[in-house]
Amino acid sequence: DAKTTQPPSMDCAEGRAANLPCNHSTISGNEYVYWYRQIHSQGPQYIIHGLKNNETNEMASLIITEDRKSSTLILPHATLRDTAVYYCIVRVYQTGANNLFFGTGTRLTVIP
Amino acid sequence: DSGVTQTPKHLITATGQRVTLRCSPRSGDLSVYWYQQSLDQGLQFLIQYYNGEERAKGNILERFSAQQFPDLHSELNLSSLELGDSALYFCASSPRGTSGGRTDTQYFGPGTRLTVL
């Protein structure tokens, strides 16, 4: 799986958009970008994933650059409950092995 | 709520003992994964089962074993416990976890916190 690089920490004001960057310059054509978050010591929570097109769901938007070497997770209106560690993961879907490789992620702190 | 359940929530035991952690996947999911999260190691993949059969192995110690039963629930057995086995253990499930060229999103349970004294 391709390696990802994320800033270790970020702050965001409550109510503002949180933009979390992820660099995955070695991504291959068949590798998806996944985002998970972990609030305190709870189980990681799936947020969104994409291959090359931008994606949006009820939680967030995922913007993937045209060359696919980087992406941005956007939380449109951050709340205090969005304070968490956010993990960007790229993985190829292949026969059998489907495990996720979690890096160190970005610790997002939403400030009142 | 992801739909994945894990029991127990907390487990305190002594070194040398053996424990069993249990996981029930989301309804309809065929794959179960186990992950370990310790303070100094982050989230690490241990093992995957698909429809009762072992599918992939990660950094799982020989003292640890797992199985997936016909009703698709899974158990992770940890034996000869050491202080360093203290960690959060997460189970995840996904619909497939097998070939097909499609994505297969994993959903995580709330975890079991194991403390070895």
3 state DSSP class of A14: coil
CB B20 within 8 A of CB B38: no
CB-nearest to A49 from B88, B105, B107 is B105
Asked if the C-beta of A29 comes within 8 angstroms of chain B's C-beta atoms, the answer is: no
Mutate to test the interface with B, among A39, A45, A99 (most CBs of B within 10 A): A99
CB pair distance less than 8 Å for B98 and A96: yes
Going residue by residue through chain A, which has 112 residues, state the pLDDT in tens, using 9 for 90 and above.
568 999 999 999 999 999 999 999 988 887 889 999 999 889 999 999 998 889 999 999 999 999 999 999 999 999 999 999 999 998 765 555 567 888 889 999 999 9
CB pair distance less than 8 Å for A103 and B42: yes
Q: Compute the Cα dihedral for B59, B33, B81, B77 and give only its sign.
A: negative
Q: According to the model, what pLDDT value does residue A92 have? A: 63
B-chain residues near A98 (CB < 8 A): 31, 33, 48, 55-56, 94, 96-98, 104, 106
B-chain residues near A95 (CB < 8 A): 98-99
Q: According to the model, what pLDDT value does residue A5 have? A: 93
Task: Return the residue matching tokens 């995840």.
Answer: B92
A-chain residues near B104 (CB < 8 A): 93, 98
Q: Where are the beta strands (DSSP E) in A1-112?
A: 9-13, 18-23, 31-38, 45-50, 55-56, 61-64, 70-75, 84-92, 106-111
Cα–Cα distance between A48 and B41 in angstroms, integer?
25
Q: Report the candidate in A65, A111, A61, A105 with the shortest Cα–Cα distance to residue A86.
A: A105
CB pair distance less than 8 Å for A45 and B2: yes
Cα–Cα distance between B1 and B38 in angstroms, integer?
23
Residues of chain B with pLDDT under 50: 99
pLDDT digits (tens, 9 = 90+) for B7-34: 999 999 999 999 999 999 999 999 999 9
Helix, strand and coil in chain A, % to nearest 5: 5, 45, 50
Pairing, β B87-94 against β B107-108: antiparallel
Q: According to the model, what pLDDT value does residue B42 have? A: 83
Q: According to the model, what pLDDT value does residue B104 have? A: 78
